[in-house]
A = this chain, B = another copy of it.
Amino acid sequence: MTINRQFIIERIPSGPLTADCFRIEHAEMPVPQEGEVLLKARYMSIDAASRAWMQGATYRDALGTESIMAGRAVAEVVESRHPDFQPGDLAFAEFGWQEYAALPATALRKQPNQQPLSHLLSVYGVSGLTAYFGLLEVAQAKAGDTVVISAAAGSVGHFAGQIARLLGCRVVGIAGSKAKCDWLTGELGFDAVINYKTGGLAEQLKTACPDGIDVYFDNVGGATLEVVLAQMNLHGRIACCGAVSSYDSGQPEHGPRGVPFLLVVNRLIMRGFIVSDFFAQMDQAQAQLHAWVEQGGIKVAEDILDGFESLPAALIGLLNGENRGKRMVKIA
């Protein structure tokens, strides 16, 4: 009998996530019911937000102990009891940290069988689309804008920076190591970079953005947001994509000074979003991303770990900022 390995949440961390928050269980293979599809995971997306889901309810229910850890995957159909899917088809799904799942066909988004498969989770997946919609729809970035991006070497950030360049913006990245910064300017065409770990963020930002900041693509929140906020130009836009600075802890921190006063003074817009808000425009966005990748305008950086067992370490490492580009785990 085939075994379905699963990572179960054993306890909710009160501070930084550790491996002993999870345990592996050997479950029985699920059996698809009428209307369902049995899938095996191929690549599992590793996302900082999944740590936030352990803190409480967000745009989805909170993750509790004794449940399967949440995760999105590109998976392959093994057996189908729904006419829309055949064995061998690929689908994107809220899959959970397990090797197999039987899911209703209505919960799946069919994917083209393209190479490399991993691109379905990076540039054509949530990361690339989040960067695209965040810049074009939420922040309304346009040629000539100075755009600042935090977690710039991360899953979403490295795409956001390249897209902003393609739009004709001046792009300034904030990242957490010299190696990442060198990579952003050397390989990805960022105009300037800031290593926030060397301190003096406000001064570094002033040097990198002598004409102020028009758009801030915020992946981190916290103290960085506070510093950036104070340097936003009149009618600036802040796309609130994530708050990773607050995910890996138990206590919500204070908000940034200057909210709401600086918003009034400079007539700023702060807007939170998630990619599914733009579901209706997904095909158009993917087509544009395809074109940019094929023209060489976007370089796709993927940070792929191997094997089901590496899931906890992959997430813990991501929360510690060890990845460069889109992190995922190859399951099969």
Q: Are A260 and B267 in contact (CB under 8 A)?
A: no
- Check A88 for interface membership: any CB of B closer than 8 A: no
Q: Are A218 and B59 in contact (CB under 8 A)?
A: no
**Complex interface: chain B residues within 8 A of A52 (CB):** 261
Q: Are B277 and A272 in contact (CB under 8 A)?
A: no
- A242 vs B267: C-alpha distance when bound (angstroms): 11
For A221, the closest partner residue in chain B by CB is: B260
**Complex interface: chain B residues within 8 A of A273 (CB):** 264, 267
Q: In the complex, which residues 212-232 of chain A have their Cβ closer than 8 Å to any Cβ of chain B? A: 218, 221, 225-226
For A260, the closest partner residue in chain B by CB is: B240
Q: Are A58 and B265 in contact (CB under 8 A)?
A: yes
Copies in the assembly, this chain: 2
Q: Are B259 and A252 in contact (CB under 8 A)?
A: no
Q: Kindly supply a per-residue 1/0 record for chain A positions 266-285, scoring 1 wherever the CB is within 8 Å of any chain B CB and 0 otherwise.
A: 11111111100100000000
Most B-side CB within 10 Å, residue of A59, A218, A260, A261: A260
Q: Are B263 and A240 in contact (CB under 8 A)?
A: yes
**Complex interface: chain B residues within 8 A of A261 (CB):** 52, 221, 243, 246, 252
Q: How many interface residues does A have (CB within 8 Å)?
A: 37
Q: Are A260 and B265 in contact (CB under 8 A)?
A: no
Q: In the complex, which residues 58-95 of chain A have their Cβ closer than 8 Å to any Cβ of chain B? A: 58-59
Contact of A270 among B242, B266, B269, B274 (CB under 8 A): B269
Q: Are A257 and B254 in contact (CB under 8 A)?
A: yes
Q: Are A242 and B259 in contact (CB under 8 A)?
A: no
For A234, the closest partner residue in chain B by CB is: B59
Q: Are B264 and A255 in contact (CB under 8 A)?
A: no
Contact of A260 among B59, B272, B277 (CB under 8 A): B272
Residue positions of A touching B, CB distance < 8 A? 52, 58-59, 218, 221, 225-226, 238, 240-243, 246, 252-274, 277
List 19 other contacts, CB 8 Å, given A268-B271, A269-B270.
Answer: A58-B265, A59-B265, A218-B260, A225-B259, A240-B264, A243-B260, A243-B261, A246-B261, A252-B258, A252-B261, A254-B255, A255-B256, A255-B257, A256-B259, A259-B259, A263-B271, A264-B272, A269-B272, A270-B271
